[in-house]
Amino acid sequence: MPFLLVNYRNMAPSATPAPKKLLYEVSIIRPIVIGLLVLLHAFTNFYNSGFNISSSAVGCYRWFSYIISGFRIETIALIAGYVFAFQSLDLGKRYSFGPFLVKKFKRLIIPMLFFGMLYYFLILFDRDTFTFSDFFMQLFTGCGHLWFLPMLFWCFIAIWIIDHYKLSSWITLLLLAAFTFIHPSSLPFGFARLPYFLFFVYGGYFLWIHHDQLQKRCTGVPVIISLWVVYLLLVVVRYQFLSGVFNGSGTLQRIMEYLVRNGLALLISCVGIMALYLTVCRFTTRPSFVPRPVVIRASDYCYGIYVYHQFVMLPLFFNTPIIYSCNSWIMPWVAFLLTYIISLILTILTLKTKFGRSLIG
């Protein structure tokens, strides 16, 4: 996604820099996870549509959702830290705090406010229940799916501090992993999800530091297949078997359940991310590998598709008859395709304007 910083590789910070080269793994992973994000929202809106749908279709697509939701948004956060580390550590692009704050404010908060106002008045607004306090809270926390932007803003501030003061270490990674167990759900302005996603942003930073060794040792087919198998098994354990393990109501029982559920969710996300990352790297690390231009272009459009997709999908499900004319087995796929195509067109049109490029370019 463009807001995750520019993605160049092998560009040394010298008087005569080497030619720019894209981080191919990032250019491929971005469109994959954004596509999974849109597909997941098609599935979840499918459940909430109120349409008379087949129970077997619901069960099937619910499992699709379980599999997709294990790592798709976490991967986007990880890519942010991954690219940040590359720019800072390899390219030497280090900003003082003030300019960095302004840069990220323009990149994340301004689009959040602009599209948040559109989202609020087009989708959330109800004249009978409207209050200015609710409007401002929704707007500055991130309306709907836009919650990711203020959260990522604070993650970037935290990762700047870690990078600037050279706090990166295994201990930092473990401490941030422990913080993922904290869920301050009542905090506004993107702080509620910060403890969880900061781990993944820093995980991307940490991954970049060790990516050479990892890509050399872990991109073999047996390792990749093993990771995908383990990932699927963990998903099955979480959603099929874990619910029957904890039946007590005591304090110790609740604490154990909380730790196991959150620990398993974190493990699932980490395994899923590494399975996807190493699968992509198996191809991108080949000496002659160059992705097709359409892949690079798709990566450039990811930010816009992310921003627009709920503006398109929610009306499709709740304000038009198009989706309901479909069989329940194909309904979410039709919603996905329509949403993705329309969001892509809106992104392309937006990027043709100077103002649009300043928002999602």
Q: E strands within the chain?
A: 8-9, 21-22
- Residue 18 has a pLDDT of 42
Round to whole Å and give the CA distance between 242 and 258.
Answer: 12
- Residue 323 has a pLDDT of 72
Instruction: Give Cα separations from 132 to 12, 143, 176, 208, 213 (angstroms).
Output: 50, 14, 36, 43, 53
> Cα–Cα–Cα angle for 273, 274, 275, nearest 5°?
90
Round to whole Å and give the CA distance between 232 and 63.
Answer: 11
Instruction: Give Cα separations from 24 to 3, 89, 270, 296, 332 (angstroms).
Output: 17, 18, 21, 8, 30
- Residue 1 has a pLDDT of 47
Round to whole Å and give the CA distance between 94 and 74.
Answer: 25
80: how many CB neighbours lie within 10 A of its CB?
Answer: 24
Round to whole Å and give the CA distance between 164 and 261.
Answer: 34
Q: Quick one: DSSP state of residue 110?
A: H
241 CA to centre of own chain = 27
- Residue 22 has a pLDDT of 74
Round to whole Å and give the CA distance between 33 and 68.
Answer: 9
- Residue 11 has a pLDDT of 40
Which amino acid would we find at residue 29? I
Q: Return the sign of the alpha-carbon dihedral for residues 183, 43, 1, 109.
A: negative
Q: What is the mean pLDDT of each run of 10 residues along the chain (361 residues)?
A: 44 41 90 96 79 75 89 95 95 93 97 97 93 94 96 98 96 97 87 96 98 94 97 94 75 88 96 97 92 93 97 89 79 92 97 96 87
